[in-house]
Amino acid sequence: MTNLARDRGATAVEVALLMPIVLVLVMGIVDFGWAVRAQITLTQAAREGVRVAALGQPDPSGRAVLAATGLDDVDVAVDACPAGGTPGEDSAEVVVSHTYDFITPVGGLAGLFGGGGFGAPISLSATGVMPCG
């Protein structure tokens, strides 16, 4: 057996050992990126909802849900400005939340090893507060 044949075999073994680690790492990076995108979307939705609530416009929760584009099952809690409240002293608050499920098999891989932490769905939320005006 020549050295070239042994080198090819060693390279194949190295690739076979390292490829799963590299794939899990890449999938983790992808999931992290999507989770950050979801958090940014929730922040924008909270801003939109609290703006509507602070200005006394109708349906701030509906506007927040519409602003959360690409996310399903968005929960919105609105604490609107009180009727007859003092502008500048009272404030409106909107909390938008969403449960993020991982999109790659990283969550399933963690479940195989009894993990409930890494890979389990995570709760994301954003809060918007704005003075009544």
CA–CA dist 24, 4 (Å, integer)? 31
pLDDT at residue 116, rounded to an integer: 56
φ, ψ dihedrals at 2, nearest 5°: -85, 165
pLDDT (0 to 100) of residue 102? 81
Instruction: List, in sequence order, the alpha helices (H) in 55-119.
Output: 60-67, 106-112
Q: What is the pLDDT of residues 102-119, one digit of tens each?
A: 877 766 655 555 545 556
User: Residues for the chain: how many in total?
Assistant: 133
Q: What is the pLDDT of residues 7-50, one digit of tens each?
A: 677 888 888 899 988 988 888 888 888 889 999 999 999 999 99
Residue pLDDT, tens place only, 43-93: 999 999 999 998 888 899 999 999 999 898 999 999 988 877 666 678 899
